[in-house]
Amino acid sequence: MGYNITQKILASHLVSGSLEPGKEIAIRIDQTLTQDATGTMAYLQFEAMNVPRVKTELSVSYVDHNTLQTGFENADDHRFLQGMAAKYGVYFSRPGNGICHQVHLERFGVPGKTLLGSDSHTPTAGGLGMLAIGAGGLDVAVAMAGGPFYMAMPKVVNVRLHGRLAPWASAKDVVLEVLRRLTVKGGVGKVLEYGGEGVKSLTVPERATIANMGAETGATTSIFPSDEVTRAFLRAQGREEVWVELLADPDASYDEVLDIDLSSLEPLVACPHSPDNVKPVHEVGPVAVDQVVIGSCTNSSYLDLMRVAAILKGKVVHPRVSLVIAPGSRQVLTMLAQNGALADLVAAGARILECACGPCIGMGQAPPSGGVSVRTNNRNFKGRSGTADAQVYLVSPETAAATALTGYLTDPRELGDPLVVEMPEKFYIDDRMILPPAEDPTSVEVVRGPNIKPLPPAKPLPASIQGRVLIKVGDNITTDHIMPAGAKVLPLRSNIPAMAEYVFAGVDPSFARRAKEAGGGIIVGGENYGQGSSREHAALAPMYLGIKAVLAKSFARIHRDNLINFGILPLTFVEPADYERIEQDDVLEISNIPEALRGGLELEIKNISRNFTFKARAQMTPREVEILLVGGLLNYVSTQQRK
Catalytic choice (36, 76, 77, 119): 119
Catalytic choice (78, 379, 384, 413): 379
- Non-local (6+) Cβ contacts of 576 within 8 A are 553
Q: Does the annotation mark 533 as catalytic? A: yes
Around 322, how many Cα atoms within 13 Å sit in the side-chain half-sphere?
11
Q: Does the annotation mark 535 as catalytic? A: yes
Q: Are strands 155-162 and 190-195 parallel, antiparallel or unpaired?
A: parallel
* Burial (CB count within 10 angstroms: exposed 0-12, middle 13-18, buried 19+), residue 435: middle
Catalytic choice (13, 65, 375, 493): 65
Q: Does the annotation mark 64 as catalytic? A: yes
Asked if residues 118 and 38 have their Cβ atoms less than 8 Å apart, the reply is: yes
Which DSSP category does 135 fall into? -
d(CA 620, CA 611): 28
Query: Which amino acid type is present at position 547?
Result: I
* Burial (CB count within 10 angstroms: exposed 0-12, middle 13-18, buried 19+), residue 18: exposed
Helices 137-144 and 36-48, packing angle to 10 deg: 50
Best CA proximity match to 225, nearest among 28, 3, 22: 3
Helices 537-544 and 557-565, packing angle to 10 deg: 40
- Non-local (6+) Cβ contacts of 459 within 8 A are 567, 631
d(CA 465, CA 463): 7
- Non-local (6+) Cβ contacts of 95 within 8 A are 63, 64, 67, 78, 354, 356
Catalytic choice (533, 534, 554, 560): 533
d(CA 486, CA 447): 25
> Which letter, b or e, does each residue of 492-512 get, where b requires 16 or more Cβ atoms within 10 Å of its Cβ?
bbbbbebbbbbbbbbeeeebb
Which neighbouring-strand residues pair with 222? 192
Q: Does the annotation mark 300 as catalytic? A: no
Catalytic choice (207, 535, 559, 560): 535
- Non-local (6+) Cβ contacts of 452 within 8 A are 40, 44, 76, 77, 80, 494, 495
> Which sequence positions are flagged as catalytic?
64-65, 119, 379, 533, 535
